[in-house]
């Protein structure tokens, strides 16, 4: 039986370890402060921000959320971020993506002061990542590395394949694996013979954004499979096809009208992998945990420099 890599358990470990650090900061000066900006009404973004608020409340991190309408302009978003940049009690700024289509997203992300960029998306921090200098790391890829470390899955000398090339997950994931001394290949939907490339992987990270795209043909027997994808299935026929008619998944679909699946065929992961992350309950919970880590580290750095 493959090992299931439980992201909920690791998230709880990380948050438990953070409580003492947050308490020390609160006793010494003030609690860490996190500000989140949400534009429009994307349901997935609403869930993420709600979970962020809950995690802040549990840890004692001061948080505030600014919700703006779908019609917001780039200039208004930049002005709000610049206000947060000037406030000393704000240690981290989160710009929830995606932003509405009329917004210049790169310009908005560039407006965040690098020292308050707890998402790790600013070019200064991506440069720190590439050159292995200290700084906040993008939350989802950093969560994957933390998950692998806590399950004592060796990375040095192993061949890792990252399926996906986004700035948020794919590219930073590749650099983090390189820093762990893995030999890394990045591939994507236009890679010739994608299955053959993926089958080379001892560590396969799927972040390509298509439901159950990677099948048994893509997984080397015994590989560790990390599924970053979160895709919503809205048709019962797709649930039956992907999950092999599993009664629990069909019952969940009938109850909710949709089911979440990753980028990896879940039956293939269970059959071929030595260890894998379930969806949901694998990588997803770690994103919030690392956001809390980055916010706490930002507060520690900023208060030490005062």
Give the domain CATH number at 35.
3.40.50.10860
24 falls within a domain:
no
3-state helix, strand, coil in the chain (%, to 5): 50, 15, 35
What is the pLDDT tens value at each position of the chain, 306 positions in all? Answer: 899 999 999 999 999 999 999 999 999 889 999 999 999 887 778 888 888 999 999 999 999 999 999 999 999 999 999 999 999 999 999 999 999 999 999 999 999 999 999 999 999 999 999 999 999 999 999 999 999 999 999 999 999 999 999 999 999 999 999 999 999 999 998 999 999 999 999 999 999 999 999 999 999 999 999 999 999 999 999 999 999 878 899 899 899 999 999 999 999 999 999 999 999 999 999 999 999 999 999 999 987 776
202 falls within a domain:
yes
221 falls within a domain:
yes
How many domains does the structure of the chain reveal?
2
What are the backbone dihedrals phi and psi of residue 275, each rounded to the nearest 5 degrees, phi first?
A: -155, 145
303 falls within a domain:
no
62-68 sheet: strands from edge to edge? 62-68, 33-39, 92-95
The rounded distance, in Å, linking the Cα atoms of 247 and 233 is 16
| H-state helical runs in the chain | 7-28, 43-59, 74-86, 105-111, 123-130, 139-150, 170-179, 194-198, 236-243, 247-256, 266-272, 284-304
pTM of the model: 0.94
Among all residues, which ones are annotated catalytic? 52, 96, 119
173 falls within a domain:
yes
92 falls within a domain:
yes
Domain boundaries, position 52? 30-115
37 falls within a domain:
yes
């Amino acid at each position: 039986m493959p090992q299931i890599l439980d992201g909920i358990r690791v998230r709880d470990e990380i948050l438990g370890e953070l409580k003492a650090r947050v308490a020390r900061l609160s006793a010494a000066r003030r609690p860490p402060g996190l500000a989140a900006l949400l534009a429009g009404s994307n349901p997935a973004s609403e869930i993420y921000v709600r979970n962020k608020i809950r995690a802040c409340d549990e840890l004692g991190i001061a948080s505030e959320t600014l919700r703006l309408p779908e019609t917001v302009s780039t200039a208004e978003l930049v002005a709000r971020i610049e206000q947060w940049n000037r406030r000393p009690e704000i240690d981290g700024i989160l710009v929830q993506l995606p932003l509405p289509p009329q917004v210049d997203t790169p310009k908005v992300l560039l407006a965040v002061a690098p020292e308050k960029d707890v998402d790790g998306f600013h070019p200064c921090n991506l440069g720190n990542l590439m050159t292995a200098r200290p700084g906040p790391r993008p939350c989802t890829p950093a969560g994957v590395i933390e998950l692998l470390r806590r399950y004592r899955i060796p990375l040095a000398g192993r061949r890792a394949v990252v399926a996906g090339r986004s700035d948020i997950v794919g590219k930073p994931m590749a650099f983090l694996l390189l820093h762990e001394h893995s030999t890394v290949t990045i591939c994507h939907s236009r890679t010739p013979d994608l299955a053959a490339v993926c089958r080379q992987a001892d560590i396969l990270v799927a972040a390509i954004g298509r439901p159950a795209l990677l099948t048994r043909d893509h997984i080397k027997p015994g590989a560790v499979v990390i599924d970053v994808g979160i895709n919503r299935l809205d048709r019962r026929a797709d649930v039956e096809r992907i999950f092999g008619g599993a009664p629990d998944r069909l019952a969940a679909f009938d109850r909710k009208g949709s089911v979440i699946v990753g980028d990896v065929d879940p039956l293939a992961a269970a059959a071929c992998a030595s260890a894998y992350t379930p969806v949901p309950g694998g990588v997803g919970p770690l994103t919030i945990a690392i956001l809390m880590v980055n916010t706490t580290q930002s507060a520690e750095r900023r208060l030490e420099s005062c």
